[in-house]
Amino acid sequence: MNYLIHNVEIIDKHSEFNRQRKSILIENGVITQISDISPTQSTDHLTVISGQNLQLSAGWFDMRASFCDPGFEYKETLSTGCNAAQAGGFTEVAVLPNTQPVIQTKNELAYLKSHNLRHLVQIYPIAAVSVNAEGKELTEMLDLHTHGAIAFSDGIQPVWHSDILVKTLQYLQKFDGLLINRPEDLMLTRFGTMNEGVSSTMLGLKGMPALAEEMMIRRDLDFLAYAGGKIHFSAISSARSVQLIREAKAQGLQVSCDVAAHQIAIDDAALMSFDSFLKVNPPFRGKTDIEALLEGLQDGTIDVVVSDHRPQDEESKNLEFDLAEFGALGLETAFGVLNTFGKKHLSLEDKIDKLTFRPRQILKLPQAHIKVGEEANLTLFDAQQEWTVEPKHIQSKSKNSPFLGTTLTGKPVAVFSGAQTNWQEKN
């Protein structure tokens, strides 16, 4: 099927067509024409999509998601995860290694990559740093890199062992590999359920201090200066974390970071409802932290916005708050949340840049371009559309979204990946 996306506004700060209205012709999965009004040929054999109220960007890339497969398919499968991703406007997703078995051999990598032959959304595996993500013994990272691991991380677990961290930084330099670490001192957050502060005191819940995150960032930055290499901090959440990374960048260290979209939208006061869908890790912080995160996005300290998609089945969430599992859905709401709550701090181009160009740049992946001769890797969206998050709209196998009942502004309409699209499925 060939497509003409007619009269659509292109959003791409790296493109000569940024903020221009063009008509994009896609034939056999390749962009063959970018014109002012319409292609020179007949549209008889084309599916014409009116872009009058729509925007078009390079396909969105999520740098942090859990697809739970293999091992936890009752929470999410590769297929339902990909369905959620394309519904959220993503054409490519980097998945965490915390499955059963952990993604730590070429066989697990091959299992994940084989799914790419069957689905529009392309999966990029992040392999474990340590065996079983326990932080005690290094995996065969060179072999994993050779067989397709795009980065190394213990995923939802921090690399807590100092010697393992230093050796990882040194070892990855052999092939310019990337360490992704989620900073958390597990001893400080043990038995914690939410941010440590006024709200946790009022609720009588064990708090998780921001210091636990900040101490690990300081430690990792010291080791980075000592050992060299590069590190990406994932899912940062506090004002001090932003400042530490800002200072490290100014010193010339090879450091980058991301924030989960939901962290800029909800503060810890919302947990007065004891809604277990709001139990996430890192926890929702205070209003001053949210403001610092938004400022970090604005000045470029925070490079990427991620979904931190972590599905949980009903039996893991329909419990007393302190017993419920951590995690929230994020793929289908990431753009709407970023567009709604980041409106005053970021232009539309900057929001899209943090979902497209920057994650691929950090992971050293080919960029997606809106350019004649390029294979289609595109996201079509409506930045002005208001919509309310409802369970019936969620494509994920689980339903643990913290935004159920929330009205967001900005929604994906369709994605294109080569000759594949979900346009017909949705319209």
Domain positions in the chain? 2-56+372-426, 59-362
Asked whether the beta carbons of 220 and 165 are under 8 A apart, the reply is yes
Concatenated DSSP letters for 244-299? HHHHHHHTT--EEEEEEGGGGT--GGGGGG--GGG--SSPP--HHHHHHHHHHHHH
Report whether pLDDT(46) > 90: no
pLDDT in tens, 79-121: 999 999 999 999 999 999 999 999 999 999 999 999 999 999 9
Asked whether the beta carbons of 46 and 4 are under 8 A apart, the reply is yes
DSSP 368: P
**What CA–CA distance (Å, rounded) separates 317 from 321?**
8
Buried b (16+ CB within 10 A) or exposed e, 75-88: bbbbbbbbbbbbbb
Q: Could you tell me the pLDDT band of residue 38, with boundaries at 50, 70 and 90?
A: low
Report whether pLDDT(281) > 50: yes
Looking at the DSSP bridge assignments, the partners of residue 184 are none
Percent share of the chain, pLDDT over 90: 95
Class of domain 59-362: alpha beta
Report whether pLDDT(65) > 90: yes
Asked whether the beta carbons of 153 and 97 are under 8 A apart, the reply is yes
Q: What is the mean pLDDT of the chain?
A: 96
Percent share of the chain, pLDDT over 70: 97
**What are the Cα distances from residue 422, in Å, to 85, 90, 152, 332, 417?**
11, 11, 31, 14, 9
Q: Place domain 2-56+372-426 in its CATH homologous superfamily.
A: Urease, subunit C, domain 1 (2.30.40.10)
378 class by beta-carbon count within 10 Å (0-12 exposed, 13-18 middle, 19+ buried) = buried
Q: Could you tell me the pLDDT band of residue 152, with boundaries at 50, 70 and 90?
A: very high
pLDDT at residue number 419? 93
323's CB contacts (< 8 A; 6+ apart) are none
Q: What is the mean pLDDT of residues 44-54?
A: 87
**What CA–CA distance (Å, rounded) separates 249 from 264?**
22
Task: Please give the angle made by the CA atoms of 36, 335 and 156, to the nearest 5 degrees.
Answer: 140
pLDDT at residue number 284? 98
Report whether pLDDT(426) > 70: no
Asked whether the beta carbons of 277 and 404 are under 8 A apart, the reply is yes
pLDDT in tens, 331-350: 999 999 999 999 999 999 99
Q: What is the pTM of this model?
A: 0.96
**What CA–CA distance (Å, rounded) separates 90 from 378?**
9
| Residues classed as catalytic | 308
**What CA–CA distance (Å, rounded) separates 291 from 322?**
27
pLDDT at residue number 230? 97
Q: What is the mean pLDDT of residues 271-282?
A: 97
pLDDT at residue number 425? 46
Asked whether the beta carbons of 135 and 159 are under 8 A apart, the reply is yes
pLDDT at residue number 39? 55
Q: What is the mean pLDDT of residues 4-23?
A: 95
pLDDT at residue number 51? 84
Phi, psi of 288 (to 5 degrees): -65, -35
pLDDT at residue number 36? 85
